[in-house]
Amino acid sequence: MPRFRALAVTTVLSGVLAAALIAPPANAAQDYQRYVALGDSFASVGTLTKFREDAPGCARATDNYPSVIAAKLAPTEFVDISCGGAQTREMTAPQGQNPPQFSALTADTDLVTVSIGGNDIGFGEIITTCAKLSFTNPLGAPCKAHYAGVLEERIAQLAPKITAVVDGIAQRSPNATIVVVGYLRILPPTTGCWPVVPFAVGDVPYFDGIERVLNETIGASAEAAGAVFVNPGLTTGHDVCQLLPWNKWVEGLLPTSLSVPVHPNAAGQRHVGGLVAAALSD
C-alpha cells in the first residue's frame, strides 16, 4: 500500500476511534443543570438520623429518593424542598414556616420531581382508621364498610389537582423535564399480617386496591399534562408485612429500621431513586 494511502487510512481509523470514545452511549442520561424536588413525606423522608435541620417539621432526609437521584445524575444545582404532610395546596401556599414549594422553581430549572396526592385523600387518617377498626372485626373488612366509596371519590377529586400541579411547574420552569412519582406499595396484594400490621383480613386487598387506583389516577393525570410518570407501586414483595427487615421498602407501624412508620425506609428510597434515574435514561 502506498505510504500516503496508509496514512489516510490510519487518520480515518483514528478519527473513528476517537469519536467512539468521546460520544456518549445512546441511552445516556441527560446532563441536568438545576434539579428541584417537590413533594410530601414519601419524597422527603429517609433515615431518622439523616434528617436535615433547615426545614422545620418537614422530615427531609439526606438519603431520600431525591438525594439518590441527585447522586446518580450529578446536576450542577440540587434543591430539595419536599416536606412531610404536604398536599397539592402547599405547592403555592406556605406550609407552617416553610415557603410554598413552587418558590424553588426558576426559569432555568431543567428537572423537577414531585410526589404528591396521598395527603389530599387523607392517607394518614385512612391508615389510622383502618388500624383501629381492625380490632372490631379482624377477619372482616370493617374499613371498607366504613368508607363505602368515599375514598374512590376523594381520588377522583384529586385528578384535576395533579393536572394543576404539573401545569404550575411547566409555567414556572418551561424547559424542565417533569417526573411525577407514585407511591411505594404499602400492603401486600392479598394476605396481611394482623395484628403486627393491624389491617383486617378483608381490608388488606381493599387498601391495596385503593392505593393502586391512587397511583393510576395520579399517573393518568400526570401523563395527560405532559409529565413522565414513575410508578413504584407496581413492585410486590417489599411491603410492611415482610418478615425479613431487609426485604422491606416501607416500614410498618413498628419500624424495624431507623425510619418513619408506614413510610419508605432507606432501601425503599434507593429503589425509587433508581427507578426515576432509569426512566430519565430511557
Give pLDDT tens digits for 263-275.
999 999 999 999 9
Cα 103 to Cα 109, 143, 184, 230, 282, distances in angstroms:
12, 38, 27, 24, 29
Instruction: Quote the CA–CA distance of 180 and 219 in Å, as a whole number.
Output: 7
| Residue 21 or 68, more confident | 68
Dihedrals phi, psi of 115, to nearest 5 degrees: -120, 115
Looking at the DSSP bridge assignments, the partners of residue 39 are 115
Mean pLDDT check: name the lowest of 3-17, 100-114, 229-243: 3-17
Residue 208 has pLDDT above 50, yes or no: yes
Is 217 inside a domain boundary? yes
Is 47 inside a domain boundary? yes
Give pLDDT tens digits for 68-99.
999 999 999 999 999 999 999 999 999 999 99
pLDDT band of 3, cuts 50, 70, 90: very low
Is 44 inside a domain boundary? yes
Looking at the DSSP bridge assignments, the partners of residue 51 are 61
Work out whether strand 77-80 and strand 177-181 pair parallel, antiparallel, or are unpaired: unpaired
Question: Which CATH number fits the domain that encloses residue 227?
Answer: 3.40.50.1110
Residue 9 has pLDDT above 70, yes or no: no
H helical segments located in the chain: 3-22, 41-44, 65-73, 123-134, 142-147, 150-172, 203-224, 266-281
Q: What grid cell was written down for 142?
A: 370493617
Is 17 inside a domain boundary? no
Residue 133 has pLDDT above 60, yes or no: yes
DSSP string, 112-168: EEEE--TTTTTHHHHHHHHHHHHTT-TTS-HHHHHHTTHHHHHHHHHHHHHHHHHHH
Q: What is the DSSP letter of 98?
A: B
Give pLDDT tens digits for 22-65.
444 444 457 999 999 999 999 999 999 999 999 889 999 999 99
How confident is the model at residue 7, as a pLDDT? 38
Give residue for cell 456518549.
24
Instruction: Quote the CA–CA distance of 127 and 80 in Å, as a whole number.
Output: 27
How confident is the model at residue 39, as a pLDDT? 99
Is 12 inside a domain boundary? no
Average pLDDT value for the chain: 92
How confident is the model at residue 29, as a pLDDT? 56
Instruction: Name the catalytic one among 41, 67, 82, 259.
Output: 41
Is 11 inside a domain boundary? no
- Domain containing 173 equals 35-281
Instruction: Quote the CA–CA distance of 205 and 122 in Å, as a whole number.
Output: 18
Instruction: Name the catalytic one among 67, 134, 221, 263.
Output: 263
Residue 16 has pLDDT above 60, yes or no: no
Work out whether strand 111-115 and strand 77-80 pair parallel, antiparallel, or are unpaired: unpaired
Is 24 inside a domain boundary? no
How confident is the model at residue 282, as a pLDDT? 80
How confident is the model at residue 30, as a pLDDT? 79
Q: What is the DSSP letter of 101?
A: G
Residue 108 has pLDDT above 70, yes or no: yes
The number of distinct structural domains making up the chain is 1
Is 26 inside a domain boundary? no
Q: Is 41 a catalytic site residue?
A: yes
Residue 20 has pLDDT above 50, yes or no: no
Give pLDDT tens digits for 182-191.
999 999 999 9
Q: Is 14 a catalytic site residue?
A: no
